[in-house]
Amino acid sequence: MGSELLKHRLLCGFVCALSLLALAGGISNARSQQPRVLLGCTGTIKDIGPVKAAGFDYIELNTTEFAALSEDDFAKLQTTLKQSGIPVYATSNFLPASIKLTGPAVDPDAEMAYVRKAFARASLLGSHYMIFGSGASRTVPVGFSHDVAFGQLVDFCKRIAPEARAKGIIVAIEPQSLDQSNIINGTAEGMKLLDAVNDPNVQLVLDIYYLDQLHEDPAEMIAIKQHIVHFHFSNPDGRVFPARWEEYKYGPFFAALRKMSYAGAISIDAHAKDFATEGPLAVAFLRDALSR
C-alpha cells in the first residue's frame, strides 16, 4: 500500500471516529470497557418516528426512496429528520433494480447520474456510509461471463469512489447469499472486489444473516477488521428482530466483535410483525449482548 493511500485511510478512520464520538457522546460500556457501539435500524421515511421512539441511535434510510423524491419532498424529509432529532448514520438499498451493473446492457452515464444524486442527498442527510447490497442490480445475467461481470463491478466501484470521497461517504460492499445475487457471495469474494478496486472509500459491511446463510465463521472477520466499516444484524432464523440470547447461536459473532474492538455501528435489518414491541426489545438485547 502506498504511503498516500495509507495516510488517507488513517484520516478516514480518524474522521469516522470523531463522528462516532459525537453521536454516541463518547460513552464507553461500563461492564466490558468496549467502545459504545451505535445501534440503528433500516427503514423508510415513514419509519423515522417509530425508529426514534424505539430507542435506536440512528435510522438507516432507503437510498432509492429519498433519491427519487422531488426537491420539495426532499426538503420536507430534511425538516422531518431535524424535528425528530434522529441522525441518518448510513443509507442502504443503494441502487434501484432498473440500473444494471453487469451484463450487456450497462449504461455508465445513467449509473453516474443516479450515483451523484444519491451521494449528494445522502451527504445532505449526514450519512457516513452507503451500503451497497443492490442484489438485483449486480446479478449477472444468465449466460454472461462471471469474470467480465466482476470486471464491470470493479470499474463501477472505481468510478464511484472519487464521487463518494467528495461527499465524505464510504461505500460499503455487502456480500450476499445466492438467493439475493449470484456475484460477490461471501466475505472472500467481497475482499477480492476490495483488493481489485483498492480505494479507501470502498470497504465492507457484513450481515449476520448472510454469514449464517453462507456458513461462514464470524471469527474470520477478525483478520479483515480494518475493512469492515458497518454491520447488519437480525436473528438469522427467519431474519426477524432479535430478542433473546437463546434463540440463535449469537456467541461467536459477539466474541469476534470484542476481539475486533469494534467501535462502529450495527443496524437491525430484519422483518418485524410489531415494531413498537420488537424494536425496543432488539435494542435491549443488543446492548446486553455487546456487554457480555
- pLDDT, position 43: 98
- pLDDT, position 94: 98
Q: Which CATH superfamily is domain 3-291 in?
A: Divalent-metal-dependent TIM barrel enzymes (3.20.20.150)
- pLDDT, position 35: 63
**pTM for the full predicted model:** 0.88
CB within 8 Å of 1: residues ≥ 6 apart: none
* H or E stretch covering 206: strand 202-207
CB within 8 Å of 42: residues ≥ 6 apart: 59, 60, 61, 62, 92, 232, 267, 268, 269
- Residue 35 DSSP class: B
> What's the first-to-final CA gap in the chain, in angstroms?
36
Grid-cell match 470484542, residue found: 258
Measured distance CA(226)–CA(34) in Å, rounded = 17
Tell me: the pLDDT tens digits for 224-268? 999 999 999 999 999 999 999 999 999 999 999 999 999 999 999
3-state secondary structure of 269: coil
Measured distance CA(225)–CA(213) in Å, rounded = 21
Average pLDDT value for residue range 137-156: 98
Tell me the three cell numbers of residue 78. 430534511
Beta partners for 58?
40
Grid-cell match 450481515, residue found: 207
- pLDDT, position 1: 41
* Dihedrals phi, psi of 58, to nearest 5 degrees: -160, 170
Tell me: the pLDDT tens digits for 166-216? 999 999 999 999 999 999 999 999 999 999 999 999 999 999 999 999 999
Radius of gyration of the chain (CA): 18
Residue 148, number of CB atoms within 10 A of its CB: 12
* H or E stretch covering 131: strand 129-132
Amino acid at 38: L
Measured distance CA(145)–CA(22) in Å, rounded = 46
Residue 210, number of CB atoms within 10 A of its CB: 25
Q: Is the pLDDT of residue 15 over 80?
A: no
- pLDDT, position 36: 86
- pLDDT, position 34: 56
pLDDT band for position 20 (cuts 50, 70, 90): very low
CA-to-CA separations, 178 to 37, 83, 184, 210, in angstroms, rounded = 30, 40, 9, 9
Going 237 to 241 to 245 to 249, the CA torsion angle's sign is positive
Tell me: the pLDDT tens digits for 26-83? 433 333 355 689 999 999 999 999 999 999 999 999 999 999 999 999 999 999 999 9
